[in-house]
Amino acid sequence: MRRRREIFTYLVIIVFFIIRYANVDEVEPRRPLPEGAEETLPPVLIPDDGPLPDNDDRGVTVELDSEVKNGVGTAFAARADGIFITARHVVDGCGKIYLVKGPRMLEPVASATSETSRDFAVLRAKSLKPQAFELSVDSPKRGDDGYMMGFPQGKPADVRATVIGRTEMRSTGRYRMREPVVAWVERERRPTFGGSLGGISGGPVFNGEGYVVGTVVAGAPRRGRVYTTHPKVFEDTGLAAPVGGTQRMLIKRENFDENGRAYRASRSIAQVYCEAP
């Protein structure tokens, strides 16, 4: 009898660890972590002098929460008349959506339209109308550097990453879809912080010439991976053609965080707040 109890106890422990660590290499949920619950593990950054990892040919799977919760994300200006771009999962199912105009200043979004086949959404602001960015329809190539800017973990920060290739992202849970995405490896975070990139979802990724070449949609911090929309979505949604009031600055490795601070200060890159129904 005692022997059987011991065996049962061992089986319970084994099952626990299988469940707990089975998905260690999968992409983490894209919703930001609750305040005060951020992971403190150091970021997995791939050094520039090391070999570039192989592409994620098998694709990646992201599981969405079945229930909409309060959350934050990032958006950026695509038109000077108050049109912003963000990720679908940032605003999907929200009762109310706001853009943060300043300290303790929230602007309700006039409208939000989500793509049904891609993690992509368009917001229309009521009064927030900063300079917009120029969008590119050319996909970045393997080895190209990109600069991701926004509010990871709800705080201002910027990420430098390098393209490793294209892959497919499968979203499951609250809604299901498949879409082509660009896979990147993280190189640098400014300022340095650990854990998830949750909260930068919907933020822009720039190339060195200052064009937006994608939108951040997912991250796998344990593997040092970030995934962004394929820029063809800008063309498909009619947002690729610049319509006055656009801005574009060269971005360099040495000081890309200065660009990020300037864009956030002008609210061309703004924080999004989702209020659950």
Task: Give per-residue pLDDT as tens, 21-52.
Answer: 223 223 333 333 333 334 567 888 999 998 99
Task: For strands 157-172 and 177-190, give the pairing.
Answer: antiparallel
* 8 Å CB contact between 100 and 106: yes
Q: How far apart are CA 108 and CA 275, in angstroms?
A: 11
Domain count, the chain: 1
pTM confidence score = 0.85
pLDDT given for residue 7 in this prediction = 36
Asked whether residue 13 is assigned to any structural domain, the reply reads no
Tokens of 120: 């992509």
Asked whether residue 22 is assigned to any structural domain, the reply reads no
pLDDT given for residue 160 in this prediction = 98
Asked whether residue 2 is assigned to any structural domain, the reply reads no
Tokens of 207: 């190339």
Q: How far apart are CA 84 and CA 237, in angstroms?
A: 13
Asked whether residue 34 is assigned to any structural domain, the reply reads no
Asked whether residue 37 is assigned to any structural domain, the reply reads no
pLDDT < 70 positions in the chain: 1-40, 242-244
Question: In the chain, which ranges are continuous DSSP H helix?
Answer: 2-21, 88-91, 232-236, 256-265
What single-letter amino acid sits at 66? S
pLDDT given for residue 177 in this prediction = 93
pLDDT given for residue 245 in this prediction = 72
Q: How far apart are CA 91 and CA 259, in angstroms?
A: 26
Asked whether residue 164 is assigned to any structural domain, the reply reads yes
Output helix, strand, coil percentages for the chain, rounded to the nearest 5: 15, 40, 45
* 8 Å CB contact between 269 and 74: yes
Structural domain for 226, as ranges: 44-277
Which tens digit of pLDDT belongs to each residue from 169-185?
999 888 999 999 999 99
Q: How far apart are CA 207 and CA 204, in angstroms?
A: 10
Asked whether residue 249 is assigned to any structural domain, the reply reads yes
Residue 276's domain is classified under what CATH number? 2.40.10.120
Asked whether residue 14 is assigned to any structural domain, the reply reads no
What single-letter amino acid sits at 209? E
